[in-house]
Amino acid sequence: MQAEATPIQTDVAQPTAAPWWNAARQFGFAAALWRLPNTTDKHLIIQLDSLLTERPADLEELPAGFVMSPFANFDFGTGVPFCAPFLRADVHVIQTGTGWQVAEKAVLPGTETFLAVAREWTPANQPAAQIIDDPTAEATNTAARHQFEHSVEAAVSAMQRGAFRKVVLSRTKTVAFTDEPDAVALFEQLCVAYPTAFVSAVWLPNRQQVWISATPERLVSVDAAGMFRTVSLAGTQSAYEAGGRLKRTAEALWSQKEIEEQAIVSRYIIECFKKIRLREYLEEGPKTILAGNLMHLGSQFTVDTQAVRYPQLGTVMIRLLHPTSAVCGMPRADAFTFINQHEGYDREFYSGFLGPVNMAPTQAGSSPESHLFVHIRCMKIEANIATLYAGAGLTEDSDPQKEWQETEMKSQTLLAVMRSL
């Protein structure tokens, strides 16, 4: 049980989240920083220890905090929510009109030193970390391309034999910096570059990792009014013409392969609704969705949980949806087995899910909400090394060269921002 909170003096507003983020790093406390899509409010929570505990992914039971699940996290038919790493909101800092402030004027006993460090923090006067040019990058990229395209060929062959209908293969790209990149600066730039994405930065001191993402894909959300939402997202193309002009969404042309790929994801969501005998839902789409430098095909599904008397819908759908066919495949178990046999690396938190749970979206006493997103368009930072992740949804009509180009486009989501630091 947590100790009773005690009042503290109102903090002076800071221009960025950096003081609290860096104080958390200094004390070895876990931290999560985020901004929801199409909003301006930004939040930072800090857990006053280093280790994320495994908690059932139950939206009705979890306290305020942040969930961060790995990819390899399945419902094994037990009928109960599976567990996922959970970061408690021991301290909640929110961006206000005048800057960043502690949202609640109370903290747990023993944290006064931590808050004092945050209040007194000043930015270091040193140049920003720069990407180090790798003379072997071209050869490394060529080898990675050959391996990825070979795996795509194997997947297409397996699907043509009827082994499964869809699989998502991914790859990594490694970038070295002169120093550890500034996570808060990256977060702020991603917020500007991708206003329709869920942007986040999470510090995991027990792993010595920072995970940063700008993901366009909502897994499950339940707002204060009880409205449940999920999205089926698939298909990828550049948002720009060859000459550099930003295309209108109405100008996007989709191939039959991409239309079918997105339809598979939508059909799976509907199948999940059928499993729980839910018939009252609204489906909107598919339509072209702009996500920064990319466009996707997406459909949104909405359910009024109060009208259908299903308050547990969010929790139930997490178990049914993850890992979605947009990051794994169909049938899920067969696609997952193929991924483990052919990708050759541990995805860790890439293509898992993450987001705030039971957090008030604003400071003015609003009701708590939960918003979980599929963890794509992300990278892992360990010291001065950044690992980027990108995947491609494959069907039996996939072309290995085009799928490689899709992963290259997706890598640019974060790489372009990193080069601008």
CA angle 389, 377, 225 (to 5 degrees): 140
pLDDT reading at 17 higher than 60 = yes
- Return mean pLDDT, the chain: 89
Query: What would the pLDDT profile of 209-238 be if each residue is shown by its tens digit?
Result: 999 999 999 999 999 999 999 999 988 888
Q: Would you say residue 84 has pLDDT above 50?
A: yes
pLDDT given for residue 2 in this prediction? 42
At 5, the pLDDT band (50, 70, 90 cuts) reads very low
pLDDT number for residue 103? 75
CA torsion sign for 360, 105, 100, 112 is negative
Higher pLDDT: 313 or 11? It is 313
| Amino acid (1-letter code) at residue 1 | M
In this predicted model, which residue has the larger pLDDT, 135 or 316?
316
Round the CA-based radius of gyration of the chain to a whole number and report it.
21
pLDDT band at 7 (very low <50, low <70, confident <90, very high): very low
Pick the more confident residue, 360 or 80.
360
pLDDT higher at 401 or 99: 401
Helix 137-160 to helix 332-342 angle, to the nearest 10 degrees? Answer: 140
What average pLDDT does the segment 109-123 reach? 79
β-sheet with 329-330: strand ranges across: 99-102, 91-96, 43-47, 30-35, 198-204, 209-215, 378-382, 385-394, 166-176, 329-330
Is residue 107's pLDDT more than 50? yes
**Does the pLDDT value for residue 69 go beyond 80?**
yes
| Res. 239: pLDDT tops 80 | yes
- State residue 3's pLDDT score: 41
Question: Closest by alpha carbon to 216, among 325, 373, 407?
Answer: 373
How high is the pLDDT of residue 163? 95
DSSP string, 98-155: TEEEESSSEE-TT-HHHHHHHHH------PPP-BPP-TTHHHHHHHHHHHHHHHHHHH
Over residues 281-291, the pLDDT tens digits come to 999 999 999 88
Residue by residue, DSSP assigns 240-283 as: B-TTSPBPPGGG----HHHHHHHHHHHHHHHHHHHHTT----EE
Q: What pLDDT is stored for residue 6 in this prediction?
A: 39
The pLDDT of residue 231 is 95
> Domain extents for the chain?
137-182+225-349+383-419
Q: Which residues, including other chains, have CB under 8 Å from residue 372's CB and lie 6 or more apart?
A: 67, 218, 219, 220, 221, 318, 353, 354, 355, 357
The average pLDDT across 393-416 equals 92
Q: How far is CA 250 from CA 225, 256, 287, 296, in A?
A: 32, 17, 9, 12
Residue 216 burial (10 A CB sphere; 0-12, 13-18, 19+): buried
Say yes or no to pLDDT of 9 above 50: no
Query: 381 and 181 in contact (C-beta within 8 Å)?
Result: yes
The better pLDDT of the pair 218, 95 is held by 218
Residue 77 has pLDDT above 70, yes or no: no
Q: Indicate the range of 114-123, 233-242, 248-257, 346-355 predicted with least confidence.
A: 114-123
DSSP summary character for residue 14: B
Spatial CA neighbour of 421 closest among 59, 132, 143, 129? 129
Provide mean pLDDT across the span 113-141: 84
Query: For 366-376, what is each residue's pLDDT tens digit?
Result: 789 999 999 99
pLDDT for the residue numbered 363: 57
For residue 417 the two structure tokens come to 């921002």
Euclidean distance between the first and the last CA atom of the chain, given in angstroms as a whole number: 42
Query: Counting Cβ atoms within 10 Å, is residue 254 exposed (0-12), middle (13-18) or buried (19+)?
Result: middle
Q: Is the peptide bond before 63 cis (omega within 30 degrees of 0)?
A: no
For residue 1, is pLDDT > 60?
A: no
Fold designation for 137-182+225-349+383-419 = Anthranilate synthase (3.60.120)
Task: Please identify which residue in the block is written with the tokens 């930065």.
Answer: 201
Greater model confidence, 211 or 77: 211
Pick 141 or 126 by higher pLDDT.
141
118: pLDDT strictly greater than 90: no
**DSSP per-residue string spanning 38-89:** T----EEEEESSS-PEEEE--TTT--SEEEEE-SS----S-SSPPEEEEEE-
Percent of residues in the chain assigned helix, strand, coil, to nearest 5: 30, 35, 40
Report the percent of the chain where pLDDT is more than 90: 65
CB neighbourhood size of 408 (10 A): 16
- Residue 104: pLDDT band (50, 70, 90) is low
**What pLDDT band is residue 79 in, cutting at 50, 70 and 90?**
low
How many Å apart are CA 19 and CA 31, to the nearest integer?
12
- CB within 8 Å of 69: residues ≥ 6 apart: 57, 84, 85, 322, 349, 352, 353, 354
* Predicted TM-score (pTM) above 0.85: yes
What sign does the dihedral 210-30-18-65 (CA atoms) show? positive
Predicted confidence at residue 35, as pLDDT, reads 96
